Chains A and B, each alone.
Chain A
Amino acid sequence: MAGVTLRGVKKRYPGGFEAIKGIDLDVPDGDLCVFVGPSGCGKSTLLRIVAGLETASEGTVAIGGRDVGALGPAERDVAMVFQNYALYPHMSVFDNMAYGLRNRGAARPEIEARVAEAAAMLDLSALLARKPRELSGGQRQRVAMGRAIVRKPALFLFDEPLSNLDAKLRARMRVEIRALQRRLGTTAIHVTHDQLEAMTMADTLVVLNAGRVEQVGKPADVYARPANRFVAGFLGSPEMNFLDGEAGPDGRIDFGALGSLSAGAGARAPVSRKVVAGIRPENLAPAEGDGPDRLSLTVDFVEELGAARLVYASREGRRVVVHTAAHGGWAPGAPLALTAAAGDVRLFDPQGGAALG
Chain B
Amino acid sequence: MKQYDERLTLESVKAGNTSDFRLIVERYEKKAYGLCLRMLGNAEDAADCLQDSFVKAYERLGQFRGESKFSTWLYRIVYTTALNRSAARKRRRESEAPPELGEGARAEDRAERDPALSAWIERALDALPPAQSALIELYYRDDLTIAEIAETTGLSETNAKVTLHRARERIRQYFKTHGIEEELR
The answer to whether A binds B is: no
